[in-house]
Amino acid sequence: MWGRHHDRVPVGVIDVGSNTVRLLVTRDGRCVHTEREMLRLGADVEQTGAVTEEKLGEVAHVVAHYADEARTRGADAVEVLITSPGRQAANGEELQQVLARAAAAPARVLSAAEEGRLAFAGAVAFAGPPARRVVAVVDVGGGSAQVVVGTRRDGPRWTRSIDLGSQRLTSRLLADDPPGRDAIAAAAEEVEGYLHEFAPPQPRTAYAVGGSARALKQIVGARLSPHGLDEALELLATTPRANIAAKHGIDVERARTLAAGAVILAALQRRLGVPLRVTRGGVREGAAGELARTLAA
């Protein structure tokens, strides 16, 4: 059953992504505490093919602190999830080992399919669509993007991932501030190159999770329609990041990769054919629910 969970076991999940490292502590399916630190591991991976020694030390320090914080707040179990940096970095296995030691807890590198499944579980638990309704969940991260289609009752039935996210696309084509319309057009063409034979089942409803979607909500609202995404892309193409951050209450580091995130979301929205609704929930929430149910069992 993919619906809301009611487990009473406090758990902590540390999510190590290409842009950000995040901590989530939950109890009874509710957030007790959350923190985040933007470390941009994906920039290292894009430029050098690996996570540098300096970044390994930084992320280990943050993960150790987050694990301590989770236990201080009552988490009976802590788990470290490593998403695209673990899959894409030449030293992904070393990254996993370093973070397991730092957290004194299990650490695992999620496959793209596992990442999509957890994002789907977390999103539908919060959004609560009708159990049989076909829905899509779009999760654009720093190093990759996942699209999962299924139902709340039966779970995913179609999953795809592209090895391109907001951090990687920014590093390749959108580093200027502001990037300009020509760079946005080139980035859109780059994304299209990853979407050959990308033909998802038609959902009735589509949800967007992840940092890019949440930041775009601050600009155009919770409904990411074709028109709204076009407006956002025009603004992001022509406005300095500091202005975007100040006017819309977005972290300046998030603003740095937001144009890339919007380009990817716009391309995926066109493929799905329905507006994207920004919702709470995602990989961390899906993983926390699984961990709590495992402990309760």
65/178 same-domain check: no
148/104 same-domain check: no
70/196 same-domain check: no
State pLDDT tens for residues 185-223.
999 999 999 999 899 999 999 999 999 999 999 999 999
Contact 292, 222 (CB under 8 A): no
Domain containing 248 — which CATH number? Answer: 3.30.420.150
Residue 220 CA to residue 12 CA, distance in Å, equals 32
State pLDDT tens for residues 4-29.
444 577 999 999 999 999 999 999 98
State pLDDT tens for residues 79-113.
999 999 999 999 999 999 999 999 999 999 999 99
The single residue listed with the structure tokens 């066109």 is: 270
Cis peptide bond N-terminal to 178, omega within 30: yes
* Domains in the chain, number: 2
Note down the domain range covering 100: 11-112
Domain containing 65 — which CATH number? Answer: 3.30.420.40
Contact 82, 107 (CB under 8 A): yes
